[in-house]
Structure 1
């Protein structure tokens, strides 16, 4: 699998929502899978963007789940008082 010259990896690591190494790995894997699903052997910028969005959505869901757990805990504590 090859990476298109058009892909700017610096763009992804310099975005304001700082991503860690595991997230970068996930984005790269998602980008590669997207290219494979399109029967391509070259990863294009749109593949990386799709991988980035998929990862960002997953991170939002994780954050929302954590927030729901905290809210439930606070509600339980307030109800017990």
Structure 2
């Protein structure tokens, strides 16, 4: 996986440091929802059972391969 410098910096935050790279890969490879933002970036979500079913959101750049951000999305609702 490729990462932006922004992602690398955000990963140092205490609330994001426990997000495993395997969860990010799972979210990219098999999202439960995927959508393209107006700016071309791609949002992907997956449910992480190891974190009590929290939903991880991963933001990819327009290339669909570079991770720009990853965080647990408290507002996501599976439909």
TM-score by length of 2: 0.31
Q: Which has the higher strand share?
A: 2
TM-score by length of 1: 0.31
Q: Which has the higher helix share?
A: 1
